[in-house]
Amino acid sequence: MALPSPRTQHDGPRDDLAEELRRSVAGEVRFDAYTRHMYATDASMYEIVPLGVVQPRGSDDVVAVMETARDFGVPVLPRGAGTSHCGQTVGQAVVLDFSTHMRHVLELDAEAGVARVQPGLVQDELNAAAAPHGLFFAPDTSTSNRATLGGMIGNNSCGSRSAAYGMTIDHVRSLAAVLADGSHVRLGPVAPSVADAKAAQNDLEGRLYRELPRLAARCRSAVEAQSGTFWRRAGGYRMDRLVADPFDLAAFTVGSEGTLSLVTEAEVTLTPKPAATVMVVGHFTTTTEAIAATDDAMAADGSAIELVDNFILDLARQSPQHGHLVRRLEGDPRALLFVEFYADSVAEAEAGAARLTKLWQDHGHGYAAPRATTAAEQQPFRALRKAGLGLLMRAGKPSERSVAFVEDTAVPPEHLAEYTTKFAEILDRHGLRAGFYGHASAGCLHVRPFMDLSQPGQVATMRAVAEEVCELALSYGGVNSSEHGDGLVRSEFNERIFGAELYGAFREAKALFDPDNLLNPGKIVDAPPMTDNLRTPKIPTAVPLTTHFDFSEHGGMRDTADRCQRIGACRKPAGSGGTMCPSFMATRDEEDSTRGRALTLVQALSSPDPKAALADERVNEVLDLCLECKACKNECPMSVDMATFKSEALAAHHEEHGTPVRSRLFGRIRQLNRWGSWGAPLSNLVANLRPVRALLHRFVGVERQRPLPHFERGNLVRWFRRRNTAPAAEPNAREVVFLADSFTTFTEPHVGRAAIELLEHAGYRVRLAEDVCCGRAQISKGLLKEAKATANTLVTRLAEDVERGATIVGCEPSCVATLKDEHQQLVGGERAAAVGASATLVEDLLAEALDDGRLTVPEGAEAGASDVLFHGHCHQKAALGTTATMRILRHVAGGSVTELDAGCCGMAGSFGFETEHYDLSMTIGGQRLFPAINRAPDAAVCATGTSCRQQIAHGTEREARHPVELLHEAVFGARTEATEEMAD
């Protein structure tokens, strides 16, 4: 029988539905067009605009949503991180985003090895909570820094360790869930007497306990006929678990993609972490040879066996972010096998690695097999393995994407070599390219062919390949989906895969759980064709838009924003490391992620009047909390540069609505600082008077709790002009032009003075570029006409110096990065390119001088405390690198030097001064940076950014110094006049 369709089909939001949800739900309810567009896609190739979005705060909200949806006859769709490759998390429904609020570990019993968690909890956060007890959640997804437990349960996820630890279904003990009638139930294994008692209930739960055992009895023979199917299956409903003893509806629900119930809590088992891990990295000349070596790896009891082929390796070689990982390899391998051995001791793990090495030698497999025995040694290899998806995202022609439609088929490992060869033949026959990587120990391949689905015939080609690969996998006793589920891309094939009888049982089970077909309909059973609802053909041709920045490399601003592949790398929690995206880490709201903002821009710029849409207040609201840290340009696989997009959108908003006074003031920060320096010390006194701060707070929006910068009358320009102590440079000395930026000049001249004296001491001839500005503040506030004029002036002045052979050097990372980055899009041309190529941080030159002996630190002259903590500026980490800074600090520290992985400090230039942003600014700093500093009360604290030093002082009451100050002290003696406050 056919499942019923939802009562009403909706082409747009329903005001009455939204109103009722707002009345009955404590969490956020959003039905605006931009929010709906954000949730219309996931990491798959599909797009379906939902009815609206609810961010529930607890199980009562979930019940209220289900009851309201039932009353209105509309579907409900649960969603975690929204990174599904198969389209499970898109649909014309009310979307429940569990990741914003329902994301906590509710209970952790280390002795029992059990945790009770909410569905929006990210896997890395569960592992962080379990780690102190020597435990972890064993299914090891490559997206563990954003994969939610609810999503893993919905898809029956696993990962690289599945051969040793199984799939998510093997680690779920029980589930709390809301059924389609709005009732809240506990699902899990039950004794016969309990099942009988539940079956007597006159409700939906009672119906399940009455009818499902009968269904299981009727389909038992069909289930047993499927028993030879490969174990690593993430498709269809788990009828095999339904016929098992004891009766367990939690196990049956795992992998059901939100089509049977809405999970509100999960009780999961935690696994003891192996005491020792040793990795062997097999180097091979062909992918076929690497796969052939898998048998030996399994015979040696390898716990995890991962394959990376030459396609991925070549992409890594060309990648600025991953090239260093490949350089760690021996020779020029065309394929790798990463084999891990887990044991109770290093000696035992080493013995497993030795067994494998001998087997490979005896059988002539590979030409090298280095071992990695420590976590530090293993980390780069794991990073290379996990980089596969991101590398594929960046590859291909501009119009192509790596499309996930045959992404994770799996066959018994003994057939993997032959299967891979035939798989490649299918792709060759259809003229497609793809990389092969995956979990060799589980026979799972990740394959994403490059296609342009907007081109004629490509959709038909995709379907043909999907059908052929499906049949190929089945012919080897394999499965069509081994870890990412069915969704919209594979559900259509389920009757072919499982047979008519078992598929009929699937449909009956769905009807029992969801008689009105309101729970994520169209997934697993009764699905539309896989070629329906494709995103790419829906996107209209962008209307030409004149912009200040040059977006022509990727076809204009809209298509540049649409480079976002929606894989959710920007959605990681603060504890997972990295910097992208600081506002999302604090709010956990989709619209504060780089992905949410990119999708908002795509929607706006796809309109008939993109300029007006770009100036829309809702667009401005979505972009508002972007701190312009530029981490997305480095950490996003597609380098989606949200800071540049925000600046362009702000310019459009100003043109339409006028420029706020505060934006004009902060955009002219150089003039303000110059006036403040001229009027010091009186300017400092006046600026900090309570009435003045109150006026600034009320009329300008400058937060009164935030300390203002301290203006120095003896600024850098005055010092440079009046001094007579500059050492004479050699005739052929290398000339450097020092950027007298707005902060190093007027509020922290001691930093610039220390840098210049060190450069001169190292033999450089220094000239000060005085009355110049890079325009960074104007760019960040959307004053792009002024910024372009400022940039043109600076490029014109500095180009002559560069043509003469001078190097442009600065202390403030954001200023140097602006020359290398934004000026290339605002000004462009050969002169801007030459200036950008010549621009560098002062630490780069000083590190060179220390390395070649032109600058020396006297023995025993280490500066400050023995231990040093270093926090790098976001723009430095994203565009310039921190290697040279760390080299300098190692020269001057008497003890350890630690580069903090503390993300963004939260200050972000003017952002932290703004009243409406102050609390968020402090929240971001308080997530990782402040605690890291407070844990080391005796260490010296260094930071390269002016904003970072201000934030650290305000948030920790600790002085943070620029690294050149410590180096200056070590070279010239402690706290010379160069590092003291200067008077006129």
For residue 697, the SS3 value is helix
Model confidence at 637, in pLDDT bands (50, 70, 90)? confident
Phi, psi of 52 (to 5 degrees): 180, 180
Res 162: pLDDT = 83
Count of other CB atoms within 10 angstroms of residue 348: 15
CB 122 within 8 A of CB 146: yes
CB atoms within 10 A of CB 641: 26
Going by C-alpha positions, the residue among 922, 91, 15 that lies closest to residue 519 is: 91
The Cα 52–Cα 93 span in angstroms is: 7
At residue 3, does pLDDT exceed 70? no
Q: List the structure tokens of 935.
A: 């844990």
- Average pLDDT estimate for 164-191: 96
Nearest to 154 by CA among 409, 433, 500, 520: 520
**pLDDT above 50 (res 976):** no
CA-to-CA distance for 401 and 41, rounded, in angstroms? Answer: 15
Determine the angle formed by the axes of helices 15-24 and 59-72, rounding to 10 degrees: 150
Give the pLDDT score at 9. Answer: 44
Instruction: Show the tokens assigned to 695.
Output: 């006026």
Q: What is the mean pLDDT of residues 221-229?
A: 81
CB 667 within 8 A of CB 783: yes
Q: Is the pLDDT of residue 857 over 80?
A: yes
Q: Are 82 and 568 in contact (CB under 8 A)?
A: yes
Altogether, the residues listed in the chain come to a count of: 984
Judge whether residue 810 has pLDDT over 60. yes
Residue 228 has pLDDT above 70, yes or no: no
For the ranges 458-467, 479-488, 860-869, the one whose mean pLDDT is highest: 458-467
Per-residue pLDDT at 45 exceeds 60: yes
Which DSSP string do the residues of 195-209 spell out, in sequence order?
A: HHHHHTSSSHHHHHH
Measured between alpha carbons, how far is 684 from 754 in angstroms, rounded to an integer?
A: 24
Q: For residue 412, which amino acid is it?
A: P
The predicted pLDDT at position 396 comes to 66
pLDDT above 90 for 965: yes
| 385/148: higher pLDDT | 148
- Stretch 444-461: mean pLDDT, rounded? 93
Do residues 814 and 945 touch, judged by C-beta distance below 8 A? yes
Spell out the residues 6+ positions from residue 579 whose beta carbon is closer than 8 angstroms to its own.
629, 631, 635, 874, 877, 878, 903, 904
DSSP state of 607: S
Residue-wise pLDDT for 861-892, tens only, equals: 665 558 999 999 999 999 999 999 999 999 99
CA distance 242 to 220: 9
Q: How far apart (Å, rounded) are the C-alpha atoms in residues 564 and 568?
A: 9
Provide the CB-side half-sphere exposure for 951 (13 A, CA): 33
Average pLDDT for 959-965? 97
DSSP string for 909-923: TTGGGBHHHHHHHHH
Taking residues 628-656, report their average pLDDT. Answer: 95
The amino acid at 99: S
According to the model, what pLDDT value does residue 11 have?
47
Whether the pLDDT of residue 10 is over 50: the answer is: no
Tokens of 821: 């980055």
Alpha-carbon gap, residue 872 to 878, rounded angstroms = 10
Which of 29, 37, 34 lies closest to 53, judged by CA? 29
Dist. CA 152–CA 257, nearest whole Å: 9
Q: Is the pLDDT of residue 319 over 90?
A: no
Strands 444-447 and 335-343: unpaired
Alpha-helix residue ranges (DSSP H) falling in 136-191: 149-155, 162-165
Dmax (CA) of the chain: 98
Host H or E run for residue 560: helix 557-561
Nearest to 725 by CA among 384, 387, 972, 474: 972
Long-range contacts of 577-580 (CB under 8 A, 24+ apart): 577/145, 577/901, 577/903, 578/631, 578/635, 578/901, 578/903, 579/629, 579/631, 579/635, 579/874, 579/877, 579/878, 579/903, 579/904, 580/629, 580/631, 580/632, 580/634, 580/635, 580/636
Write the pLDDT tens digit of every residue in 492-547.
999 999 999 999 999 999 999 999 999 999 999 999 999 999 999 889 999 999 99
Q: What is the pLDDT of residue 978?
A: 45
The SS3 of residue 97 is strand
Residues near 354 by beta carbon (within 8 Å), at least 6 away in sequence: none
For the chain, the average pLDDT equals 93
CB atoms closer than 10 angstroms to residue 431: 8
Give ∠ CA 540-546-551 in degrees, rounded to 5. Answer: 75
Three-state secondary structure of 332-357: CCCEEEEEEEEECCHHHHHHHHHHHH
pLDDT above 50: residue 134: yes
Q: Measuring CA to CA, which residue among 20, 45, 39, 150 is closest to residue 92?
A: 39
Question: In the predicted model, what is the mean pLDDT of residues 60-78?
Answer: 97
**Phi/psi at 313 (5° precision):** -65, -40
Q: Would you tell me how many other CB atoms lie within 10 Å of the CB of residue 227?
A: 8
pLDDT at position 974, please? 58
Burial of 120 (0-12, 13-18, 19+ CB in 10 A): buried
Task: Give percent of the chain above pLDDT 90.
Answer: 83
pLDDT of residue 381: 87
| Residue 6 pLDDT greater than 60, yes or no | no
**Range from 128-142, 386-400, 786-800, 966-980 carrying the lowest mean pLDDT:** 966-980
